[in-house]
Amino acid sequence: MNQGKYIFAQLTEFLPRRKFDRIVRKYNGNKYVRSFTCWNQMLCMVFGQLTARESMRDLMLSLEPHQPKYYHLGFGKTISRRNLGRANNNRNYKIFEEFAYTLIDQARKSCYKDDFEIKVEGNVYALDSTTVDLCLSVFWWAKFRKAKGGIKLHTLYDTKTSVPAFLYISEARLHDVKVLDIIEYETGSFYVMDKAYIDFERLYTINQEKAFFVTRAKNNMRFKRMYSSTADKDNGIKYDQIGKLTGVNSKRYYPDKIRRVKYFDRENDRTFIFLTNNMDLDATEVAALYKKRWEVELFFKWVKQHLKIKSFWGTSPNAVKVQIYCAIIAYCLVAICGNKLKSERKIYEILQILSISLLDKTSVKEILRDHNYKNDKEPIRKQLRIKGF
């Protein structure tokens, strides 16, 4: 019998415990706590995310037969629905938010790609949001429409590391463009977004910070061409122009030159008009950068399918935010684990393997090894022939 650690215990060794304890002391998270600490709470929530539990009752039912293992898994002496529910409602969600950003920073450093297909020096971020529908009669605080509740998850997705660099949870009624006021822009980095984020005063702020944006132009935008570059029509570039905005408000909010690129996508038979403040990139690279925006859409789809942020284990705003940030902690933990162990598997594959292996006693590196089953051959065995056949 393998006397090693459980796979879940091996995973949690990648979590910076000292930094977590420092954050807990900052917010007095363990004040008046006897046994079920913030660390135990966070590990329970991460375990529920990795095993795809549908509800808190489901989580408790799956853990109940394994009470002798609680200490070795890091859950503390006792766990109950009441303990976990009370902790999610009462303990400050900022503890888990701050720790999620700690892991995000660690994951981005460990998962950085040097072979990014577009040659740009800065980071490339895709900005978008997704709405999580909630039942208004249960989540009374999440007002969205007259008979519908919801929250909105705004994400700045780092396409070079496949890790979200910024997360903001808001009411579903908040307009996407207002998130541009919260983001801290990095000099030389690219921010790719759709036309919902067009606000020329805010885009000019990005330009003033010496960062770059790539977005789509609206149909009613008024633009005066000053000069054009040679269009590479073989690669779908219809025109590449530099000029100024001529709208009454737009030219006041964005007085500098701006670049407009018209691109025809042959694969989808669609035409796009892009706006950017970068004058040096090739026009085809501008189009390629905008295609990177699709990665944040895939991230939202992946998270909703494989992490539990659609069915919540608590009804208060604090409990909802705790669960979302614990989902991000689980995502970053899987990304860090795969990178540290030099696994060639995708995050989705690692999560699927871990979901049924967390209580095994084997090496986590061994179960994440990429095995090519196509090359397997049945062993040749010499079998005795039965007389008469």
At 103, which helix (H) or strand (E)?
Answer: helix 94-110
Per-residue model confidence (pLDDT) at position 97: 94
Q: Looking up tokens 């690669």, which residue turns up?
A: 235
Residue 3 has pLDDT above 80, yes or no: no
Distance, in Å, from the CA atom of 87 to the CA atom of 356, rounded to the nearest integer, reads: 27
Q: Looking up tokens 């669609």, which residue turns up?
A: 270
Task: With 0.85 as the threshold, say if the pTM is over it.
Answer: no
Per-residue model confidence (pLDDT) at position 229: 86
Q: Hey, CA dihedral for 242, 247, 248, 249, is it positive or negative?
A: negative
143-182 pLDDT, tens per residue? 888 878 889 999 999 988 888 999 999 988 899 999 999 9
Distance, in Å, from the CA atom of 212 to the CA atom of 110, rounded to the nearest integer, reads: 25
Kindly give, in sequence order, each residue whose CB lies less than 8 Å from that of residue 182, ignoring residues fewer than 6 positions away: 168
Per-residue model confidence (pLDDT) at position 16: 93
**What one-character-per-residue DSSP string does 188-208 give?**
T-EEE--GGG--HHHHHHHHH
Residue 214 has pLDDT above 50, yes or no: yes
DSSP 168: E
Domain range annotation of the chain: 7-96+312-368
Residue 309 has pLDDT above 80, yes or no: no
270: left (phi over 0), alpha (psi -120 to 50) or beta: beta
**How much is the mean pLDDT over the chain?**
86
112: left (phi over 0), alpha (psi -120 to 50) or beta: beta
Distance, in Å, from the CA atom of 255 to the CA atom of 245, rounded to the nearest integer, reads: 7
Residue 324 has pLDDT above 50, yes or no: yes
Distance, in Å, from the CA atom of 264 to the CA atom of 271, rounded to the nearest integer, reads: 4
Distance, in Å, from the CA atom of 384 to the CA atom of 77, rounded to the nearest integer, reads: 57
Distance, in Å, from the CA atom of 105 to the CA atom of 88, rounded to the nearest integer, reads: 24
Per-residue model confidence (pLDDT) at position 92: 94
Distance, in Å, from the CA atom of 163 to the CA atom of 223, rounded to the nearest integer, reads: 36
| Collapsed DSSP state (helix, strand, coil) of residue 181 | helix
Residue 130 pairs in a beta bridge with 153
